[in-house]
Amino acid sequence: MGVAGSGKTTIAARLAAHLEYAFADADDFHPAANVAKMTRGEPLTDANREPWLRALAAWIAAQHKAGRRSVLACSALKRRYRDLLRAPAPRHVLFVHLDAPRVTLLERLSRRHGHFMPAELLDSQLAALEPLQYDEPGITLDAAGQAEAIIEKVLNYLGTVTRV
């Protein structure tokens, strides 16, 4: 989880490949209206996000029901979004919050081409972001480092967590 430019897709895809887990990018679940709105530089509202979050929760539920472990790259900016995502399998969903300074995020976004999320929406995401709370299952990592080091930290964290 994290704002645009935090490295969610890169880290999640590499982690899933390493672990041989199913992978999905939440961006692929956005309806066309959401993509169009973000492309115009308009932030999404909670009402815009609701069907998208429900689709993501359904994907998590399907993976869990099939007995597949999975990794989902998703902004999950607010606690209530994360609660909705955890609902299908609350004891099996963990969050990795990739956190980086605004200047790092802007620099990464300036290098990104062909993505519907423009850099001018970063501040709205930063304003909406609710960091992980003490009772949410997960960790916060500095996303300004190298992908390999971040993945190693995630793997170390996963090795300390027992899930039923």
The answer as to whether 2 is a domain residue is no
- Residue 24's DSSP bridge partners are 72
Contact 6, 125 (CB under 8 A): no
Domain for residue 79, yes or no? yes
Q: What is the pLDDT of residues 112-145, one digit of tens each?
A: 666 566 666 788 889 999 999 999 999 999 998 8
With respect to residue 77, please indicate whether it lies within any of the assigned structural domains.
yes
Whether the pLDDT of residue 7 is over 70: the answer is yes
Task: Say what the pLDDT of residue 105 is.
Answer: 86
| Pairwise CA distance, residues 30 & 145, whole Å | 28
> Tens digit of pLDDT for each residue in 21-70?
999 999 999 999 998 988 888 888 999 999 999 999 999 999 999 999 99
**Residue 67 belongs to some domain of the structure:** yes
How confident is the model at residue 118, as a pLDDT?
61
Kindly state whether residue 34 falls inside one of the protein's structural domains.
yes
Count of domains observed in the chain: 1
The model's pLDDT over 73-84, given as tens digits with 9 standing for 90+, comes to 999 999 999 999
pTM: 0.88
122 φ, ψ (degrees, to nearest 5): -60, -45
pLDDT-derived band at 164, boundaries 50, 70, 90: very low
- Other Cβ atoms closer than 10 A to 101: 11
Least Cα distance to 85 among 115, 56, 107 occurs for 56
**Does residue 3 form part of some domain?**
no
**Domain span at 21:** 8-160
**E runs forming strands in the chain:** 22-25, 70-73, 95-99, 138-142
Q: What is the CATH number of the domain that holds 47?
A: 3.40.50.300
Nearest-angstrom CA–CA distance, 140 and 154: 10
- Residue 127 maps to a domain: yes
The tokens describing 98, both together, are 């990739």
